[in-house]
Amino acid sequence: MAKKVVVVGGGTGGLVAARMLQTEANRMGQPLEVTLVTASERHYMPPLWSEVALGTASVDETWAPIKNAERVYGFKVLVDPVKTFDLKGRKVTTEGGTTLDYDFLVIALGTAYGWSDYPGLDKYGFHNYGPEGALELKEALFKFKGKKIVFLVPELPFRCGIYPLEMALNVRAYFEVRGQHPEITVLYPANAVRMALGEGLERFFLRRFKRHGIKYEAGFEKLVEVTEDKIVTQKGEYAYDLLIKSPPSRLPKVLADNGLAHPGDPRFSVVTGPRFQHPEYPEVYLVGEHAMPPVGLLTAGVPIHNAAVVAAGSILHDAFGGYMIPSYAPTLCFGHSFESGFMGNCEYWWIPEEGKWGHACYTVATGPTIRMVKDSFYRAWLDALR
């Protein structure tokens, strides 16, 4: 009788886990029934939302139909949001009333946004952490005639640690060719660049900020409020004509409602490493953005991809016996840097006494070609589902 795996979430983590499980089981000639459950018919590539804001991509270029995964990879896809998790009974129930039994469960539900957790943050400023927001930011950039642009990171950790640094350089380039030279400031609550990316990549960004006249303000301690023309922190106030903001990360409601909040930090889910398992139910794996910070990882696509590979390999090992569980791989990331790009690599090692991954990062290469590689990868990823 085929083992059953339910994968909840149609983003990067869910797609990678379901794809690896089904394709590897088929390759080995082993029976495995994989069902991916997702709330959306669209599988998005979020980094392309920056391109929407900059006018170099349309919203339709940022997604592909997740149902096509049935044809491309062979697993089942159910578009119906999950309502309840019965971990003891090994059941998942959707809002539409479908109940799925499982032998193994993978949860990859991304993150929610806590815009309303700081006064004014939900009301003022723009972002491109969604297709609608990206279109609004695109219009704001096109119409901008002011002098001061501030990128605000309200708290740590946050989604995609290099985003404000990357986007600040792109926005500088956007205005340079229009003959505009606004003052651009990146506002961090702590020394987040080093914490997230390591000293090598921190130096890379700070050198380019200096070269292109971008201010980097780290350590403002705590955000107090946002008004229509300034950001108020415990350390001081920062005026702006255009605010570009990153969202505070919060646990998706369905996970909070089903008792899956991390006891030490309810913004994220319960999880233990190095295999990304539930501490009480080892057949349950958590690999979404909600599960990265508790084990010392970034809430970004590449770490999630790696976590999903570890989880899928672990399930194949337990289901069929002897499949080699992949180690958590080094993460090679690509970023935009003004008119150019960079390639950075982070290596990881598990620290048992801390229950977290340690890491060291360094710059591999820079150049315009890397920017093209980054964009090509995102578009090819989506093309595989079209």
% of the chain with per-residue pLDDT over 90: 78
Q: If we measure between CA atoms, which residue out of 315, 349, 314, 319 comes closest to residue 331?
A: 349
Domain residue spans of the chain: 3-111+251-327, 132-248
Check whether 134 has a pLDDT greater than 70: yes
- The CATH superfamily assigned to 3-111+251-327 is FAD/NAD(P)-binding domain (3.50.50.60)
Amino acid, res. 323: Y
Reported as type and span, the H/E element at residue 120 is none
CATH topology classification for 132-248: FAD/NAD(P)-binding domain (3.50.50)
Interatomic CA distance for residues 322 and 336, integer angstroms:
41
pTM, 2 dp: 0.96
| Confidence bin at 193 (pLDDT 50/70/90) | low
pLDDT tens-digit readout, 321-343: 989 999 998 888 888 877 788 88
Neighbours of 53 (CB within 10 A): 26
Q: If we measure between CA atoms, which residue out of 247, 248, 186 comes closest to residue 218?
A: 186
pLDDT tens-digit readout, 289-307: 999 999 999 888 899 999 9
Domain 3-111+251-327 and domain 132-248 have a common topology: yes
Start-to-end C-alpha separation, the chain? 32
% of the chain with per-residue pLDDT over 70: 98
